[in-house]
Amino acid sequence: MTREDVIHVATLARLSLDDEELDRFTVQLAAVLEHADDVASLDTEGVPPTSHPFPLVNVLRDDEVRPSLDRDEVLAAAPAVEDRRFKVPPVLGEAP
């Protein structure tokens, strides 16, 4: 794992890392991935993957109206609210 990889992954993960963090993470993440080489280099041809230990499929419930979270209570926890909606800065471009 290179420093460039770390910069790229940080962008994907919406994290801003400073130079010191980039250096440290490059070394530390490389060490973990090196340890994981026993898995990465294993021949697993034909082995199906497991995403959940208990394969429960089609867990359904009756389509009944029931109470959900209180809207005002939920909005009270939001950093910014307008007209009973979550408020965010401009999505495209800079603020006017």
Partner 1 sequence: MTTTGSDAVTIAADVRAGRRRALDVLEEHLAAIDAREVDIHAFNLVLADEARAAAAAVDRQVAEGRDPGPLAGVPIALKDNLCTRGIPTTCSSRILEGWRPPYDGTVVARVAAAGAVSVGKTNLDEFAMGSSTENSAFGPTHNPHDLTRVPGGSSGGSAAAVAAGFAPISLGSDTGGSIRQPAALCGVVGIKPTYGLVSRYGLVAFASSLDQIGPFATTVADAALLLEVIAGHDPMDSTSIDRPAPSLVASIGEGVEGLRVGVLTELVDAEGVAPDVRRRVTAAAEALAAAGAKVDDASVPAAGLGLSAYYLIAPAEASSNLARYDGVRYGLRVDAANTADMNAASRTAGFGPEVKRRIMLGTYALSAGYYDAYYGKAQQVRTLIIRDFAAAYERFDLLLGPTAPTTAFRLGDKTADPLAMYLNDVCTIPSNLAGDPALSVPFGSGDDGLPVGVQLLGPALSESTLLRAAAVLEAAVEEER
- Binding stretches for partner 1 (CB under 8 A): 1, 5-6, 8-10, 12-17, 21, 25, 28-29, 31-33, 35-40, 42, 44, 47-54, 56, 59, 61, 69-70, 73-74, 77-80, 86, 88-95
The angle subtended at Cα 26 by Cα 21 and Cα 32, nearest 5°, is 120
How far is it, in rounded angstroms, from Cα 91 to Cα 96? 12
CB of 84 to partner 1, least distance (A): 13
CA 84 to chain centre: 27
CB of 75 to partner 1, least distance (A): 9
